[in-house]
Structure 1
Amino acid sequence: MDSPSRNQVKKAGSTLRKFMRGDLREHSAVIDALDVMETWRGAHYGPLVSANNGLRSRARTIGVAAEVTQRLKRSQTILDKLRREPTLDLSRMQDIGGCRAVVDTKDDLRRLESRILHNLDPVAHTDYIEHPRLSGYRGVHLIVKYQDRAIEIQLRTKTMHEWALATENYSQVISENLKQDGSHPIQLFLRVASDMMALSEDGLPIPAEMTRLHEQRRIDALPYLKEVARER
């Protein structure tokens, strides 16, 4: 199948959303829509490789040690996002292709961010360090265009990345996306942990009241944390 038009991709996303809602029973239409989605997903691979290579090159040029990885969003994850965001146009989903750089310090992160902004013109730029998500997630996200495909670039320090990995691990065990904003006991615990990690990363003291809140939320989350420990 040739690369589908954006209108075809938009229509495919709408068809899949209707099927997941139970409003569509025509299986042939669903199969066709899945084919379009998979072809669209595959069309991001070449641009993703270019973005990954560009990110590695920029880090080397400015002398920043960076662990750079890339990924195509899994098909099931695309479907989950369509279900979760009922107004999202599949053709405008900006993180089907994504690459990430994990660096040692916030200073390294800002230098790499500046280099990207100097070379590219992002269509979106979100700073979750200055404005963390309510979940506690921190990092910088940029959406750039490579070969007319939107590619997401994530920048994290090692500390931010450790928090995100722990959160993903907890999410898998309890089958809930804890990086989204919410009020699950583990989310409330991780939110305070993120604040403490950020202060420590900046070389700042951790207030006693924050330490007490962290301990209380750890106690509240303990039944779920024990479940995570059993799964490991």
Structure 2
Amino acid sequence: MISKSQINKLGKQLRTIILEGDTVGSVELEKLQEYRTSFREDISPVFENVAAVAKKVRGDSLISLRIKRIESILSKIRREPTMALGNMGDIAGCRVICHSKSALSLIRNEISKLYTVTKVKDYVSEPKPDGYKGYHIYIQSPVNKNKQVEIQLRHVRTHKWASLVEIIDIIYDLKLKEGEKHPELQDFLYLLSLEKHNLNISQIARILEIDSKYEIYKKLNQVFIQNHIPIRRSWLSISNIKSYSHFIIEVDKDKKSNIKALENYQTAELKYFQMFLGNQTSNFVLIFIEKPKFKEICIAYASYMMIKHDYLDDWNFFAKKILRTESKLGGIKSYNTFKDFIDRNLHDQQKLINSELDEINNHVGENGDNNGLAIQDWINELTERDRNIEKFINELKQLKPPKEPSFFKRIFK
């Protein structure tokens, strides 16, 4: 067992190497990996208890377990020069994603009865300046009192917002999540952290103005379409292995994602470390999800799956609001611009659905019905997406084009 003094010494060595701009060597990385993996004993019983509590409070809660990525640990060492590695409280953690805001407080209260809570960061009562909300609870490890385990509680909407921050970091090669400044994209994300139904027309216009400037919808859509069928193929190949619950999800330098299923924790950690040593610039995560479902993994790890995000639907919601305003105020130019853009987006989405249906037919033709449940889940999702598109098209048909230009033409100068 590595002592805390040895861990803190390793942290100092790593910080010196990083600040001097050198590459961290394999010896230091192997020591760090040994320390990371030692947290498995600490997080396992916590995960089981937290999962039981969360499911009791709200049966549809999503619970995942992770040990902090090596690159994330090194990044935090660089960002926080006074923090000892042995005091890093979020190396091991589990996350609960709830579909009810009231459930978060109930789960938080139950956790406080089970463990010694060392610190709570309440971003629900006081959201971060960037708009993030959630509870970060730090508890004393029930196995080793010198270690801490982090428990994150998030509403599903906040989690999807946080995933969008990570996706934008990947697409634009930024580090907004780690505090890098980009005023316009930060303004964009802050506005999206607010309840969309409460946004006024000026705030919506600002979101779409920034989107237009940086082609956010377009770039997200391109990446999602690129990844959708390949990641589905991968899932079909592993979904019939019921015993697997450890996964490595990777996004490479071309924004292409892939998922691997591993038989057990030891095999998964070995594979993860080998992948990291082979390519320290790639973005991948090792996760544990009990009884995994494709839809749940897509929600919990949207920034690694890279195939969908609610923002695309939100964009349509915002654009429809603008179209209604333009229809009333007479902004023919921006009305037509938005309408054309929406039509192209809908065409792309319908084309993707047709491609996925072809893929399903080909898979069933080649493999029979050996992935029956996974195939049915896919078909159900396609049916829902197609229904939503049809509903949106019908709503657009109710709008009447205006005749005169208006204030909103500034969005697409």
Same fold at TM > 0.5: yes
* Matching of residue 222 in structure 1 with residue 220 in structure 2: no
Please give the per-residue CA displacement for 1:125-151, whole angstroms capped at 9, x wherever unaligned.
011111111111111110112212211
Cα gap change, 1:196 to 1:23, in 2 (>3 Å) = closer
2:190 corresponds in structure 1 to: 191
Cα gap change, 1:8 to 1:24, in 2 (>3 Å) = farther
Query: Structure 1 vs Structure 2: percent identity of aligned residues?
Result: 25
Please give the per-residue CA displacement for 1:182-230, whole angstroms capped at 9, x wherever unaligned.
4442221110111225xx5xxxxx152xx41242143134333144444
- Alignment of structure 1 residues 85-124 onto 2, 5 Å: 85-124=80-119
CA contact (8 A) 2:119 2:138 kept: yes
Cα gap change, 1:194 to 1:23, in 2 (>3 Å) = closer
Number of positions where the alignment pairs a residue of Structure 1 with one of Structure 2: 218
1:175 Cα offset (Å) = 2.2
2:175 corresponds in structure 1 to: 177
1:231 corresponds in structure 2 to: 223
Bigger RCO of structures 1 and 2 (CA < 8 A, at least 6 apart) = 1
Q: Letter of the aligned partner of 2:19 in structure 1? A: R
Cα gap change, 1:228 to 1:178, in 2 (>3 Å) = farther
CA contact (8 A) 1:94 1:152 kept: yes
1:60 Cα offset (Å) = 3.4
1:37 corresponds in structure 2 to: 32
Give the root-mean-square deviation of aligned CA atoms.
2.2
1:24 Cα offset (Å) = 7.2
- Alignment of structure 1 residues 139-218 onto 2, 5 Å: 139-146=134-141, 147-148=143-144, 149-181=147-179, 182-197=181-196, 206=198, 208=200, 211-218=201-208
Higher Cα Rg, which structure: 2
Unaligned runs of 5+ in 2: 225-413
Q: Letter of the aligned partner of 2:176 in structure 1? A: L
1:37 Cα offset (Å) = 1.4
Provide the TM-score with structure 2 as the length reference: 0.49
Q: Letter of the aligned partner of 1:219 in structure 2? A: E
Cα gap change, 1:86 to 1:218, in 2 (>3 Å) = farther
Aligned equivalents of 1:125, 1:228: Cα separation in 2: 34
* Matching of residue 6 in structure 1 with residue 1 in structure 2: no
CA contact (8 A) 1:135 1:180 kept: no
Large movers: runs of 4+ above 4 Å: none
More helix as a share of residues: 2
Q: Which moved more, 1:153-162 or 1:171-180?
A: 171-180
Unaligned runs of 5+ in 1: 201-205
CA contact (8 A) 1:185 1:217 kept: no
